[in-house]
Structure 1
């Protein structure tokens, strides 16, 4: 679940569903509020009409019938009473303006009697209405309980004889509801969006993005993913085209540098051969031998440079190999020149010939300067680390990175047997980085050196 929510697809799905829920909740709240206003208006109009009619009846009926009229007008939610004082003791009744206007319309334009309206929220526990019988009170309390928002309205209407008709009514605002139709509508809308918008459009977006990411990973390991098709939305097509252009430019740049390096090495062969011929004509043995040795060293460096350039220019398909079997084959090729330590069942994707060359350079360095080599490997979630351990003197910390520079040698003698050409580590790191990895050196606490060749595990079969 965390992996899904961490993806672009999951985050967009979550965002759209959250937006739908929020929009639906706001719409429902607005609907309920409008519904509540409509109910209030309807009940207020109904109470105003009943109050106006009862006021007329009281004024027109004989004294002995007025009590019967009031009892007949009462209901579980509305109470009518005639008193000498107004139940509304103040004139600031802005909320009741519509009720007063409706009553005056019913009473007639010539009727100018005082009308007072008070509207407020009911607070605390509802008390029974004393004027209603027990059954009516039970019905009233049953209707009003349940945590609903209860509103109370009191209307005082002046009668012609100076008394006041007081009308008390209670009604509740409808609660927040989620009707079945709204739920079904929300579900259908969400499903259509997820199918029609999310899965269809995101597949057009995520598919090309994944291809670009996979191609970038392959290109970083030195593989040639080829030209990607420009599909999907315009922005994704632009990204794909930019990646294809970058891949072409980098490939041409590396090829041009490799060709220049190879041509330079090739062109140096002729003057070195001529120098060798001239050196053979020198009479003094010491001078002749010294010149020939220097020329041979230069020829060896040129040959290694040519081999390095050839290796960079050679296109080799990557393969997924079982690492122990791969190292055992290299051990046979080197006639048992190193020991194989602890290696689990690790599979890694690499270019076999190039990787054999990189490992051979690291192992030869360990044999030459560290008195022997032991190769082990460990696999992590993201990388595979191949370690070459020796028991030599190690390398000063200040030179840990300098030894990777081409032609740099810690051994300052001119002997190729002890100092080499200074290209071995440079070639090994170049090959490792072409795989998307690297080579690091570290001195061991017990003495010796660790050369760690790190390869990315992405794209490999993990076990």
Structure 2
């Protein structure tokens, strides 16, 4: 599910709300369509009920008039004024029915009593009950006009009606009631009101227009909310790489988002100020410590005891080297510090190996492939020297290799020493952490070698990976992106 669902906040909210809106609109279409059908059916039931209510009375009046006309004609021989036919009997729409088809009586049920029309029957009884009629029995049937024999004969006798398009598909509602047990059946026939042309299509179109309008509004609102968050995310990612270059983001979006951006701007400014203070402090330390150390180096030349003088000189060199490591580590991450150039990493590793070979150290270098990467040469050499020095110090020898792993260049240093406990591998890359407990620089250094190597790798967008070898010893990988 998560594989197909979008990951961004904007996309997730858009998809979720769009699906909810679409579902709600679909339900609305169904309800509106069913309500329209209910209205059409209720209109037909109501019309049929009133035809039943007034049908018997109209038939009685009509029979009385016909009898009077016939009696008058037998006396005078005058047929009387010709009665015009109702437009209902000659119209051009199948919705108009002649009176004999609209209301009629029968001694037997004109339609089956077993028809499954429970809902219609309840509506019909409710309408009749409002008129004071409680029928003993009710029968209801709905058929197509083309399946009603009397209606078919009527249409065939009216050429204008027989040419009406789709009249056979019109629905005819026939209702019949028996007011008393054993009484006659009064029946009425009604042509159900036609469904508006393309009613469902119109509803769907209106729904889609509403849905599109709501999506546009939602898109604009979400864009106003999430765009400042996206800009803030990009800025945080950039700031993590260049924390000394603060950029003030414009405070836009809702109030909560504006407060968040304002807090981030303040944080950036504070961090940049702290970094500047750190640089000033480290510069002062470098100046205030190196100058006295140089003076001490000169003064110990007057010490007559050679052994003491050498010990004092070694101590001064240890302090100077540690100070250089601390200053180099502190400068990591500052803008302008990384001046890269295209370098063959294989040749760079060979150069480092030759430096140790000239000192008589057991360092070997496998034949490296040609791997060109853009790096800061001095720093990469320093990181590689630190790894080789650790391998020589704890393993007795070192083996260098250069490999390509996908889009990553791997500078590897392997030794045959005791390795590192798995639980302490991450700890060993922290500042001032040593592999052995003594503070003797000859046996363990200051504990900044791996820390510097990791910082240099991270400055290049890579990483330092330490792992114990299956055959014994440690493998340190300086992994740099190509």
By how many angstroms is 1:228 displaced?
Answer: 4.0
By how many angstroms is 1:428 displaced?
Answer: 1.7
Aligned to 1:35: 36
2:386–2:449 contact (8 Å) kept in structure 1: yes
Distance 1:113 1:202 in 2: 61
TM-score (norm 2): 0.66
By how many angstroms is 1:240 displaced?
Answer: 2.6
Distance 1:238 1:388 in 2: 47
Distance 2:367 2:261 in 1: 44
Superposed CA deviations along residues 181-237 of structure 1, whole A, max 9, x for unmatched, are 344444444444555652x55554444333322222222234656414315413433
| Pairing 1:375–2:402 present | yes
From the superposition, tell whether residues 222 and 404 of structure 1 become closer, same or farther in structure 2 (CA, over 3 Å).
same
By how many angstroms is 1:442 displaced?
Answer: 0.4
Superposed CA deviations along residues 328-363 of structure 1, whole A, max 9, x for unmatched, are 563476475655746778x78x76765554345335
Aligned to 1:220: 240
From the superposition, tell whether residues 288 and 321 of structure 1 become closer, same or farther in structure 2 (CA, over 3 Å).
closer
TM-score (norm 1): 0.68
From the superposition, tell whether residues 174 and 450 of structure 1 become closer, same or farther in structure 2 (CA, over 3 Å).
farther
Tell me the matched-pair count. 423
Distance 2:234 2:366 in 1: 36
RMSD of aligned Cα (Å): 5.1
How do 1:12-161 and structure 2 match up within 5 A? 12-59=13-60, 73-74=100-101, 80-83=105-108, 95-100=123-128, 104=131, 114-115=134-135, 118=138, 132=150, 143=170, 154-157=176-179
Aligned partner (choices 426, 429, 453) of residue 428 of structure 1: 453
Distance 1:196 1:130 in 2: 53
1:394–1:449 contact (8 Å) kept in structure 2: yes
By how many angstroms is 1:55 displaced?
Answer: 1.4
SS at match of 2:416: coil
From the superposition, tell whether residues 151 and 256 of structure 1 become closer, same or farther in structure 2 (CA, over 3 Å).
farther
How do 1:346-425 and structure 2 match up within 5 A? 354-355=379-380, 357-366=382-391, 369=395, 370-379=397-406, 384=408, 386-397=410-421, 399-410=424-435, 419-425=444-450
Distance 1:153 1:411 in 2: 104
2:431–2:448 contact (8 Å) kept in structure 1: yes
1:219–1:225 contact (8 Å) kept in structure 2: yes
Distance 1:4 1:344 in 2: 40
SS at match of 1:5: coil
Distance 1:153 1:359 in 2: 100
SS at match of 1:330: helix
SS at match of 1:233: coil
Q: Which runs of 5+ in 1 are unaligned?
A: 66-70, 105-111, 145-149
From the superposition, tell whether residues 195 and 414 of structure 1 become closer, same or farther in structure 2 (CA, over 3 Å).
closer
From the superposition, tell whether residues 17 and 388 of structure 1 become closer, same or farther in structure 2 (CA, over 3 Å).
same
1:87–1:154 contact (8 Å) kept in structure 2: no
Distance 1:356 1:228 in 2: 37
Distance 1:426 1:203 in 2: 43
From the superposition, tell whether residues 287 and 391 of structure 1 become closer, same or farther in structure 2 (CA, over 3 Å).
closer
2:300–2:309 contact (8 Å) kept in structure 1: yes
1:378–1:385 contact (8 Å) kept in structure 2: yes
How do 1:200-215 and structure 2 match up within 5 A? 200-215=220-235
Distance 1:340 1:20 in 2: 65
Superposed CA deviations along residues 75-114 of structure 1, whole A, max 9, x for unmatched, are 6xx8752359999899xx7533552156x3xxxxxxx765
From the superposition, tell whether residues 228 and 113 of structure 1 become closer, same or farther in structure 2 (CA, over 3 Å).
closer
Aligned to 1:330: 348
Higher mean alpha-carbon deviation, 173-182 vs 54-63, is at 173-182
1:372–1:390 contact (8 Å) kept in structure 2: yes
SS at match of 2:336: coil
Aligned to 1:236: 257
2:429–2:450 contact (8 Å) kept in structure 1: yes
Distance 2:173 2:207 in 1: 32
Higher mean alpha-carbon deviation, 412-421 vs 51-60, is at 412-421
Superposed CA deviations along residues 415-445 of structure 1, whole A, max 9, x for unmatched, are 7566444321111223344566542310122
Superposed CA deviations along residues 34-91 of structure 1, whole A, max 9, x for unmatched, are 312321221122212322333124545669x9xxxxx96336xx8752359999899x
SS at match of 2:249: coil
From the superposition, tell whether residues 156 and 404 of structure 1 become closer, same or farther in structure 2 (CA, over 3 Å).
same
Aligned partner (choices 312, 325, 329) of residue 291 of structure 1: 312
By how many angstroms is 1:281 displaced?
Answer: 5.2
